[in-house]
Amino acid sequence: MSTRLIIRPEAKADLREIDEYLAEQGTVLGEKFRAELTRVFERIESMPEMFGIVWRDIRATRLRRFKYVVYYVVLSDQIEVLAVVHGARHASRWKARLKRDEE
């Protein structure tokens, strides 16, 4: 049984930004990225605790063919994708989002 996966608005904005960037590079890259992202989301949904905790209760997994990392949290009734960011970006980018949520 899989758990429902929710993509937070900030993560949706990340995906739009990535999509725009990849579109500039060529349409094939964008299609490959979306296919890989779908595969990763399906794995997270089916086995949410498969990937390791990187900070507090936040887990992460990297896309194989791309240098992007999906950060997510497993809640009792759903999984929330917090961010999808390039692996070279500093963790403070997605952690700042959580601080805003706590306020």
Predicted local confidence at residue 97, as pLDDT: 72
Only one residue has tokens 């992202």, namely 37
Start-end of H helices in the chain: 9-25, 27-46, 92-102
> Topology of 5-102 in CATH?
YaeB-like fold (3.30.2310)
Q: What is the mean pLDDT of each run of 10 residues along the chain (103 residues)?
A: 86 95 86 95 95 94 93 95 88 70 58
Predicted local confidence at residue 59, as pLDDT: 96
Predicted local confidence at residue 12, as pLDDT: 97
3-class DSSP state of 62? strand
Predicted local confidence at residue 99, as pLDDT: 62
Predicted local confidence at residue 41, as pLDDT: 97
The pair of structure tokens assigned to 79 is 């999984």
Domain boundaries, the chain: 5-102
Whole-model pTM? Answer: 0.89
